[in-house]
Amino acid sequence: MRAFTFERASSVEAAAKSVASNPDARFIAGGTNLLDLMKLEIETPTHLIDVNGLGLDKIEATTDGGLRIGALVRNTDLAAHETVRRDYGLLSRALVAGASGQLRNKATTSGNLLQRTRCPYFYDTNQPCNKRQPGSGCSALGGISRQLGVMGVSEACIATHPSDMAVAMRALDAVVETVKPDGTIRSVKIEDFHRLPGDTPHIETVLERGEFITAVSLPPPVGGRHIYRKVRDRASYAFALVSVGAIIQSDGKGRVAVGGVAHKPWRLEAADVELPKGAKAASGALLAGSRPTEQNKFKIDLVERTLGAVISEARG
Amino acid sequence: MKFETPAKTNPIDNLKVVGQPIHRIDGELKTTGRAMYAYEWHDPNLHYAYGYPLGSSIAKGRIKSMDVAAAEAAPGVMSVVTTLSVGELGKGKLNTAKLFGGDEIQHYHQAIAVVVAETFEQARAAASLIKVEYQEESGTFDLAEAKMSAVKPKDTDGAPPDTAVGDFDGAFYAAAVSMDETYTTPDQSHSMMEPHASIALWHGDELTVWTSSQMIDWWRSDLATTLGIDKEKIHMMSPFIGGGFGGKLFLRSDAVLAAIAAKATGRPVKVALPRPLLVNNTTHRPATIQRIRIGADKSGMITAIGHESWSGDLPGGGPETAVMQTRLLYAGENRMTAMRLAELNLPEGNAMRAPGEAPGLMALEIAIDEMAEKLGLDPIEFRILNDTQVDPEKPERPFSHRNLVGCLKLGAERFGWNDRKKPGARREGNWLIGLGVAAGFRNNLVMPSGARVRLGNDGVVNVETDMTDIGTGSYTIIAQTAAEMMGVAVDKVGVHLGDSRFPISAGSGGQFGANSATSGVYAACVKLREAVAMRLGFNSDDVVFENGEVRSGNRSVPLAAAAGAEGLVGEDTMEWGDLTDTHQQSTFGAHFVEVGVDLATGETRVRRMLAVCAAGRIINPITARSQVIGAMTMGVGLALFEELAVDTRRGFFVNHDLASYEVPVHADIPYQEVIFLDETDPMSSPMKAKGVGELGLCGVSAAIANAIYNATGVRVRDYPITLDKVIGDLPEVA
């Protein structure tokens, strides 16, 4: 960890400006990912802007019947919120499937969306990694890749996004609200928020330098059965091999997003359309064109089987 | 004292304190944070500096140059000692790879520098500024590939690499029923909670080291060799250890770096290995490839049993002795075992909890399950049928005491073994349910062990020995032993461990610690009893130590009064005769497991576990149970997820932290039950006890593998049994 200076942001605009003006500055909220990365010299900011005190920790109903979640709402509070539990059960279930109680107490909504991959080569600064050090190469290709991506991968990177919460957000059609350093605000659909790795795996979202997430909003509830099934080797405190977040209506229609397979939560409209036909059809559409490695090709079968179990549960 | 003949009745047999369920006497210190672990020693009068190690970024080759200018100029930095600047150092007798010094790189994350600064953060930041130029060499990193070039290793701990009895080949080919399968176990990591850590301080040419070591004298000797100084100049302390599992048996780089850094700066220096360095900088349990062949007649009697194992290590290292239990566990007239060792340039392989037997039984006890099925026998019945009361390779050597059959029978009854269904036949909701069993077996080793016992005029007995407590309960069972011998309550005993000023003990490892160290305390107490009797003019043959008094005939004196103003001291070392040669001393168990396998995802979750242990006298049923359930927990990890993933291109273990090397969490561990058979083994020691800590692990993983087979009908022979190895053969999801 490098020495760094620290400031508490006085306003959203000031925070955004501060990061925009200093290429070595980072926002810090819960710090559950950033501090680990700093200790390992994967992230080496020289200036941290603490955004915890900006009052962005409210969960409010929106006029259209949806829900607006402040960027700094802790994962624990979000998972436990009455409206979330009642109307957006998928989100609550995804959240509690992630990390541990202690981490969820600190981790924030925006920080969760921005967490970095858990690819083991990203975590070892001795190894080439295009995400950590652009242009150095990808060690995971031809290396240890059991945890890594099968969809939307590139020759430069096969990392996955590790979040459970983001999978639920994707299924719920969340919208990310931001403020840019010049004060303009914009709303980014969750499907557009995370990027595929392509040739620039170090650029993980569409956020511009200094652009600050203020909230994540959810459209009005869509009803249906909300099921989040996280598959992992041990029973808790592990990242998903794959996870399936689904909302299934009584007529069999619905939507499905999958975690652990790509650089972003993975959902395709074409796969949603196939859902009423069953898991084989839906996962076939969802994972069409997959490019697995020898070590992670099991994920193709695993997604189908897990989705099958989710659909059965929804029918049951 | 030398233990040469089977133990007769002795004061331990009173069992007023020994054998009682006494809670850890150091428990309050630990739960209140007052037990000082290596890195935590803090004398406010000392001005500590902090050392941060740098590991090699290549697996094999040489360092051409190191540029430390930026690190030296970094804030707070006092000194940067590199493996080049320090020059060649000695290598400890028990180390395979050198720990520091010189330009040769033998494995990834080998220590190549230590940065010393005023704060930990300054040292860590500066370490990243060191630039290293390497001459990288190609190496061999893949056991499967290197298997062909493996050679017969030299004897391991006195045991030959190969054994053969009768005509294995002939009997195997002639057998009515036979099996021939290959099993693999991966490299595994100790993953103890407390990392390796040391503080070093020099006074002139005298070195004091606070560290985390299972074996004080081994560390002290090898540190002296490494630094090229007299062992007597080193004072080493390790009173509390946050887990070792074999990873702290042998001197590690933290102690070497701390000593060198302290010398360079003239300050006391603290060095802890960062978690990402633990895996590749220290030792691990080597991977194995094991071939097992068993032949039997139609009645189920084994006629031929063969076990071969391949493992790898750095040049000069040894094999994982995975065939050892097969030499002893089951009968059979024709037998062979063989170990082969390949040269690998991965980090040093060495002992991890129950070395040999743990991975060996992971294979053998699946093979037994497979063979029983082929024979149409219940696997418990098959094991009982082939029980032996003598060393099957040397039938003139009986077991000192062996009740494997009792473990299996009692376990079957308590666990509800008869409810076991055919493979794949039991389903509850989305779960396929299966039961599995395996025999537990681990040899009982004994080591010389010394102790000093002081009786004060306050009637308090203080024990001093360099024995360690790695979380096992050594403090408590040593207090129980001294209390029983001296006829006092356990709260009248003080126990002082892990200090090189105390008599050399067995140390902690190989499940030899409890029996050996308490025997050493027994020997010292015998000396102290004699001194007390002599002081009081009693005939030591009929003197009784009880309730804080010493009695002989109708005379009775408070023990405190016997001490006199200056107190009395007894000191001795327990040494061992040839009972371990004339008799095979082993511990036995039966592990029962119920698993559920998710029909859709193939995830295995353990639902119930039972261990029945026959391990001689249980000195303390609470600490022994803790040992066994901890070992059973480790067995779950080894069965289901623990695997050091080898990057065979670059030669290192990729998952070198606790996020990616998964050990069980609470949610993985179900109800665990432990039953100890009520037995004693007078051949083992005056305590009539044997080891139990590693027995708790031996066989667990195979029982899980067998339960998964029973649940699903899918036989997996490659550990860990992760879902990707199972789902391809599971039924379609509805």
Show pLDDT as tens, one digit a residue, over chain A (316 residues): 899 999 999 999 999 999 999 999 999 999 999 999 999 999 999 999 999 999 999 999 999 999 999 999 999 999 999 999 999 999 999 999 999 999 999 999 999 999 999 999 999 999 999 999 999 999 999 999 999 999 999 999 999 999 999 999 999 999 999 999 999 999 999 999 999 999 999 999 999 999 999 999 999 999 999 999 999 999 999 999 999 999 999 999 999 999 999 999 999 999 999 999 999 999 999 999 999 999 999 999 999 999 999 999 999 8
In the block, residue with structure tokens 């009395």? B568
Q: Which two tokens stand for residue B503?
A: 């008599």
Scanning B102-215, the segments in alpha helix (DSSP H) are: 120-127, 143-146, 168-174
Name residue A22's beta-bridge partners.
none
Q: Which two tokens stand for residue B232?
A: 């007597």
Q: What is the pLDDT of residue A26?
A: 97
> Residue A142 is nearest to which of B121, B649, B728, comparing CB atoms?
B649
The per-residue pLDDT for range B492-529, each reduced to its tens digit, is: 999 999 999 999 999 999 999 999 999 999 999 999 99
Q: Is A4 on the interface with B (CB under 8 A)?
A: no
**Cα A1 from Cα A8, distance rounded (Å):** 20
**Cα B291 from Cα B338, distance rounded (Å):** 10
**Residues B386, B332: contact at Cβ < 8 Å?**
yes
A20 Cβ contact partners less than 8 Å away, ≥ 6 residues apart? A181, A209, A210
**Cα B176 from Cα B297, distance rounded (Å):** 5
A306–B665 C-beta distance less than 8 A:
no
Q: What is the pLDDT of residue B541?
A: 81
**Residues A49, A28: contact at Cβ < 8 Å?**
yes
> Residue B647 is nearest to which of A118, A144, A301, comparing CB atoms?
A144
Choose, out of B279, B603, B665, the residue to mutate when testing the contact with A (most A CBs < 10 Å). Answer: B603
Active site residues of B: 694
Question: How many C-alpha atoms does A213 have within 13 Å on its Cβ side?
Answer: 31
Share of chain B above pLDDT 70, in %: 100
Helices B621-640 and B700-712 pack at an angle, to 10 degrees, of: 50
What is the DSSP secondary structure assignment for residue B728, as one 8-state letter?
G
Closest of A180, A182, A183, A184 to residue A207, by C-alpha: A180
Bridge-based pairing state of the strands A47-50 and A5-8: parallel
Q: Is A269 on the interface with B (CB under 8 A)?
A: no
Name residue A242's beta-bridge partners.
A231
Angle at B394 between CA B388 and CA B397, to 5 degrees: 70
CA A8, A10, A11, A14: dihedral to nearest 10 degrees?
Answer: -80
Q: What is the pLDDT of residue B323?
A: 98
List of chain B residues whose C-beta atoms are within 8 Å of the C-beta of residue A298? 723-724, 727-728
Amino acid sitting at position A165 = M
Confidence of residue B734 (pLDDT cuts 50, 70, 90): low
Does the domain made of B391-444+585-733 have the CATH classification 3.30.70.360? no
Return the domain boundaries, chain B: 2-35+446-579, 391-444+585-733
The correct CATH number of B2-35+446-579 out of 1.10.150.110, 3.30.365.10, 3.40.50.300, 1.10.10.60 is: 3.30.365.10
What residues of chain A, 63 to 82, have a C-beta less than 8 Å from chain B? none
Q: Which two tokens stand for residue B632?
A: 């059973």
What is the DSSP secondary structure assignment for residue A9, as one 8-state letter?
-
Task: Decide if pLDDT at B657 tops 90.
Answer: yes
The per-residue pLDDT for range B376-419, each reduced to its tens digit, is: 999 999 999 999 999 999 999 999 999 999 999 999 999 999 99
> Residue A302 is nearest to which of B640, B659, B727, comparing CB atoms?
B727
Length of chain B: 734
Q: Which residues of A13-28 are buried (b: 16+ CB within 10 A; e: fewer)?
A: ebbbbbbbebeebbbb
A236–B666 C-beta distance less than 8 A:
yes
Closest of B717, B654, B581 to residue B289, by C-alpha: B717
Q: Is A3 on the interface with B (CB under 8 A)?
A: yes
**Cα B452 from Cα A11, distance rounded (Å):** 68
**Cα B280 from Cα B58, distance rounded (Å):** 11
User: Cα(first)–Cα(last) distance of chain B, in Å?
Assistant: 70
**Cα B40 from Cα B229, distance rounded (Å):** 26
Amino acid sitting at position B733 = V
Residues B602-627: what's their mean pLDDT?
A: 98
**Residues B500, B221: contact at Cβ < 8 Å?**
no
**Angstroms from B655 CA to nearest CA on chain A:** 6
Domains B2-35+446-579 and B391-444+585-733 share a fold: yes
Q: Which two tokens stand for residue A165?
A: 């919460």
The per-residue pLDDT for range B634-653, each reduced to its tens digit, is: 999 999 999 999 999 999 99
Length of chain A: 316
**Residues B100, B92: contact at Cβ < 8 Å?**
no
Choose, out of B346, B654, B663, B723, the residue to mutate when testing the contact with A (most A CBs < 10 Å). Answer: B654
List of chain B residues whose C-beta atoms are within 8 Å of the C-beta of residue A229? 601
**Residues B251, B223: contact at Cβ < 8 Å?**
yes
Shortest CA distance from B603: residue in chain A: A233
**Cα B346 from Cα B107, distance rounded (Å):** 6
Name residue B295's beta-bridge partners.
B178, B304
Helix (H) or strand (E) holding B636: helix B621-640
Q: What is the pLDDT of residue B540?
A: 74
> Residue A236 is nearest to which of B645, B655, B667, comparing CB atoms?
B667
Share of chain B above pLDDT 90, in %: 98
Query: Between chain A and chain B, how many beta carbons pairs sit less than 8 Å apart?
Result: 106
Scanning A138-278, the segments in alpha helix (DSSP H) are: 165-171, 190-193, 269-274
What is the DSSP secondary structure assignment for residue B282, as one 8-state letter?
S
Shortest CA distance from B658: residue in chain A: A238
Q: Is B182 on the interface with A (CB under 8 A)?
A: no
Helix (H) or strand (E) holding A170: helix A165-171
**Cα A149 from Cα B21, distance rounded (Å):** 52
Report the predicted TM-score, pTM, of the whole model to 2 decimal places. Answer: 0.98
B338 phi, psi to nearest 5 deg: -155, 140
**Cα B194 from Cα B633, distance rounded (Å):** 18
Residues B582-607: what's their mean pLDDT?
A: 98
Shortest CA distance from B126: residue in chain A: A2
Angle at B283 between CA B281 and CA B285, to 5 degrees: 140
Q: Which two tokens stand for residue A53?
A: 């005190």
**Cα B69 from Cα B81, distance rounded (Å):** 12
**Residues B723, A233: contact at Cβ < 8 Å?**
yes
Q: What is the pLDDT of residue B434?
A: 98
Query: Which residue pairs from A74-83 have beta carbons closer than 8 angstroms and sit at least 24 positions apart in sequence?
Result: A74/A30, A74/A104, A74/A105, A74/A106, A74/A107, A74/A108, A75/A99, A75/A103, A75/A104, A75/A105, A75/A107, A75/A108, A75/A109, A75/A112, A75/A165, A76/A101, A76/A104, A76/A105, A78/A109, A79/A104, A83/A59
* DSSP codes, A138-163: BSSTTS--TTS--SS--SS-------
**Residues B269, B262: contact at Cβ < 8 Å?**
yes
Q: What is the pLDDT of residue B346?
A: 98
**Cα B483 from Cα B14, distance rounded (Å):** 11
Q: Which two tokens stand for residue B379?
A: 């696997």
Q: What is the pLDDT of residue A316?
A: 83
The per-residue pLDDT for range B6-35, each reduced to its tens digit, is: 999 999 999 999 999 999 999 999 999 999
- Give CA A123 to chain center in angstroms: 18
> Residue B57 is nearest to which of A126, A146, A236, comparing CB atoms?
A126
Q: Is A142 on the interface with B (CB under 8 A)?
A: yes
A188 Cβ contact partners less than 8 Å away, ≥ 6 residues apart? A175, A176, A178, A206
**Cα B595 from Cα B436, distance rounded (Å):** 8
* DSSP codes, B343-391: E--SSPB---SSTTHHHHHHHHHHHHHHHHHHHT--HHHHHHHT--SB-
Amino acid sitting at position B400 = S
**Angstroms from B240 CA to nearest CA on chain A:** 27
In the block, residue with structure tokens 């975590």? A123
A5 phi, psi to nearest 5 deg: -95, 165
Amino acid sitting at position B531 = A
Amino acid sitting at position B555 = R
**Cα B263 from Cα B249, distance rounded (Å):** 25
* Gyration radius of chain B's alpha carbons: 27
**Cα B175 from Cα B165, distance rounded (Å):** 16
Amino acid sitting at position B424 = G
**Cα B431 from Cα B710, distance rounded (Å):** 12
In the block, residue with structure tokens 């200056």? B566
**Residues B699, B365: contact at Cβ < 8 Å?**
yes
CA B642, B647, B648, B649: dihedral to nearest 10 degrees?
Answer: 180
A79 Cβ contact partners less than 8 Å away, ≥ 6 residues apart? A85, A91, A92, A95, A96, A104
